[in-house]
Structure formats: structure tokens, C-alpha cells
Amino acid sequence: MPSILSADFGAFRSQVAELLDAGARAFHVDVMDGHFVPVITFGPRVVSSFADLIHERGGTIDVHLMIEEPERQLAEFAKAGADSCTVHVETCPHLHHTLGMIHELGMTAGVTLNPSTPTAAVAEAALEADVLLCMSVNPGWGGQKFIESSSRRLGELKAMLRPGMGLEIDGGVGPATIERCRAAGANLMVAGSAIYDQPSPGEAWRALVALAGV
Ligand code: DX5
Ligand code: ZN
């Protein structure tokens, strides 16, 4: 699934449309607050600026919240058109409650964790969440190198899945790493620079889908 973090921020609609034309239907949206991670990206109003485009073609918006106190923003993202929200275990002291809020707002609930956080930290949350997201880079920037221990961590998270749950991988996913992510159990792959930093993002997306076999 394309991460629009690597797209041209001045041309989201056309950059989203290009991937819709190529066949992509799920879009990953990275929200950063300058606190939990050093970078600031954008908020719900920006999501609402392209949500109609995605929804009218049957697509979905997967919001990855790299922000402190995400509970304060969930309703706004739901209103803006988010179909799922993923929160970091490191930012949620009351994670069970936070996941419940996401569900009450009618969204799919994901939980994720930094590469240095033991996977056991999400074992209880896995009983409530719909998606476990394995960060395979330190959150904050696109274009980083895939952290090798992520394959093992995917295996640990896979063991926690209930039937129908998603296992997502985010960071450094591209032609060189996507097959091992699939082999380790990921069924939702996020790629930013491997799609949007390429001469033809649409072709790059199609090539990755073929490699991943998803
Ligand atoms: C990183 C973000 C990722 C980012 C991945 O903090 O969560 O979604 O867009 O970018 P690539 O695919 O370039 O590593
Ligand atoms: Zn992300």
C-alpha cells in the first residue's frame, strides 16, 4: 500500500489519483506531531482533502498516528475519512481504552510498536486490535533502511494474530525486502519511497504487488 509520506505534499490529489489508476485501493497516511517523532506532517484537514477521491473509487485510508495523546485526535480523523487508525503502544498508557475508542468511531483499530519495543508489549492489545503493525524502521522518515530483526519480529507478532487480523509492515519495504516480509507473515505492506520516489509510481506499485504476491 502506498505511503503518501513520500508523495509531493503540494499535489496529494493527483499523486493519489495516479496510484488509484494503477489499481491501489489502500493508502497509508503518516501523521507526525514533532513530539513523539521529530517531524511534523499534517492533520485531519489534509486527510479530508483527498478522502473523497479514495472513497469514491472504493479505496480505504489507513492512518498511522505517530503522535502523543492520539485519543484527542481520533474523532477528527474519523470525521476526515479515516477508515483505520493505528496507534503506537509507546504513546498509549490506556491502550485498551484507546482501541475501544477507535472501534466506537467506526474505524478499524491497529496497534504498532517501535523497533526497540519488545513485541510482548502488544500481546494483550492483540486481543482487541484488528491489525498489528510492525515498524521496520524508527518512525519519522521515509527512505530508511529495513531493520533486519523485523523479520523475526513479524514472526513473533504473527503468533499473536486471531483469525482475520492484519499483519502490517512499515519501513524500508521495497523490491529487496518485500518477499521476506511476505514470507515472515505480513499481509499488508506499506511502501513510501519505493513507490513515490520512482519514475513511475504506478508501475513501481504494480511491480511490488507482483513480487509480494498479495
Ligand atoms: C515512517 C513511516 C512510513 C514511511 C515509510 O515513519 O511510518 O510509513 O512512509 O517510508 P519508506 O517506505 O520509504 O521506508
Ligand atoms: Zn507509517
- Ligand 1 atom 6 nearest Cα: 139
Cα–Cα distance, 211 to 169 (Å, whole number)? 15
List the grid coordinates of 85.
Answer: 487508525
Q: Is 83 a catalytic residue?
A: no
List the grid coordinates of 11.
Answer: 499535489
Pocket test for ligand 1, best of 27, 193, 195 (most atoms within 8 A of CB): 193
| Pocket of ligand 1 contains residue 3 by CB under 6 Å | yes
Tell me the whole-structure pTM to 2 decimals.
0.98
| Pocket of ligand 1 contains residue 28 by CB under 6 Å | yes
- Expressed in angstroms and rounded, the spacing between residue 45 Cα and the centre of ligand 1 is 21
Cα–Cα distance, 153 to 134 (Å, whole number)? 7
| Pocket of ligand 1 contains residue 171 by CB under 6 Å | yes
Pocket test for ligand 1, best of 29, 170, 196 (most atoms within 8 A of CB): 170
CA–CA–CA angle 149, 99, 142 (5° rounding):
40
pLDDT in tens, 145-198: 999 999 999 999 999 999 999 999 999 999 999 999 999 999 999 999 999 999
Mean pLDDT of the chain, nearest integer: 97
pLDDT in tens, 56-87: 999 999 999 999 999 999 999 999 999 999 99
Contact 104, 115 (CB under 8 A): no
Is 24 exposed, middle or buried (CB count within 10 Å of its CB: 0-12, 13-18, 19+)?
buried
